[in-house]
Structure 1
């Protein structure tokens, strides 16, 4: 599945003529597994998203294989990256440990921190000597999330459908 909401970033400060690769990976926030607790069991009451919470449900499952997602436009000139918002809308997540499509594998009900990496494509023949200075990692703590297989909140489901250009068949028909 595609990550929702999509990670988007505005970039500045690059050398406009240099080549860069943009990529993302995901690291576990902690060594715990979570479960969502709702204020009222399924009793017909309206689900209150703002009052639900995540509780620790035990120790984390074994770590998934670490994978990296390269932005499909990589590598590209700094000028291209800086001219508009960069969207990772092609990034796909899965909980399938046997995935062979290159998707990012995450454990459901575990917390993750996305990391955004900018890699300068060094034209020097001995560029591996400078590898450490040729990349920068950015972590935005507000992008932390709990991986789920299904949304527990119908409003979030509707928001995703409304935002998904491929979900035309799921949208309510407006007769007007």
Structure 2
């Protein structure tokens, strides 16, 4: 399952859509914001902190959307799927991540709805869509709606656009009324403390709120 195409059958990398979709979603294109920064992290092996209370992602997942029906209503949401069935550990002597056995039991699957959903296509397309309120947690009993992930596992964020179909038979067309996207450079390993010091340095250098998380998390320094 190392190939995301196997684990993400409904998704299309870089905004290329699958066929047989409703006209309201068939032309939708999604552009990942800050791709160069994401690629910098990806080259080092992106790590995202998970905490019991929930931690925001950095880089923040942000996209520009085009090709929507300006008058139609859409719901935007995200989820996170395991990239493979492995658990990882960080080898400090080689500064690399190594598979360390089979994955833990998959954490409860959740969807994060963008707080402005639903909204018309014109509103979504006029500005950058930011998932800056999304938080990651390793608390399996979380009741705050945060995304539950297993530490030391690799995840692929997915972004979904759902057309709010007003027709009476909308349920029967549900599979036609959405489209999904993923960007390989946004995959990451969930951690409770950064393992690669170069990731720590890049986060501090590129995060405008770095001072806040340096003082609250000594391991981030």
Per the TM superposition, whether the score is higher than 0.5 is yes
For the aligned pair, the TM-score class normalised by the smaller chain equals: 0.7 to 0.9
SS at match of 2:65: coil
- Would you say 1:25 and 2:79 are equivalent positions? yes
Q: 2:66 aligns to what SS in structure 1?
A: coil
CA distance in 2, matches of 1:129, 1:157: 45
- 1:155 matches 2:201: yes
Aligned Cα root-mean-square deviation (Å): 2.0
> Does the 8 Å CA contact 1:112/1:146 hold for their aligned counterparts?
yes
How much has 1:156 moved relative to structure 2?
Answer: 4.1
- Tell me if structure 1 keeps the 8 A contact 2:78–2:113: yes
Cα offset, 1:169, TM superposition: 8.3
Aligned to 1:2: 56
* Partner deviation per Cα, 1:68-100 (whole Å, 9 max, x = no partner): 000000000101110111111111000111111
Where does the alignment leave 5 or more consecutive residues of structure 2 unmatched? Answer: 1-54, 217-221
Q: Which ranges in structure 1 are unaligned for 5 or more consecutive residues?
A: 40-50, 172-176
Q: Normalization by structure 1: what TM-score?
A: 0.84
Mapping of residues 64-103 of structure 1, within 5 Å: 64-103=107-146
The offset of 1:3, in angstroms, is: 1.4
Query: d(CA) in 2 for partners of 1:5 and 1:104?
Result: 16
> Partners in 2 of 1:72 and 1:5 — Cα distance?
19
User: Could you say which residue in structure 1 is the equivalent of 2:40?
Assistant: none
**Aligned pairs, number:** 159
| Structure number having the greater helix percentage | 2
Q: 1:169 to 1:115 in 2, by over 3 A?
A: closer
Q: Which residue pairs with 1:167 in the alignment?
A: 212
Establish whether residue 123 from structure 1 lines up as the match of residue 148 from structure 2.
Answer: no
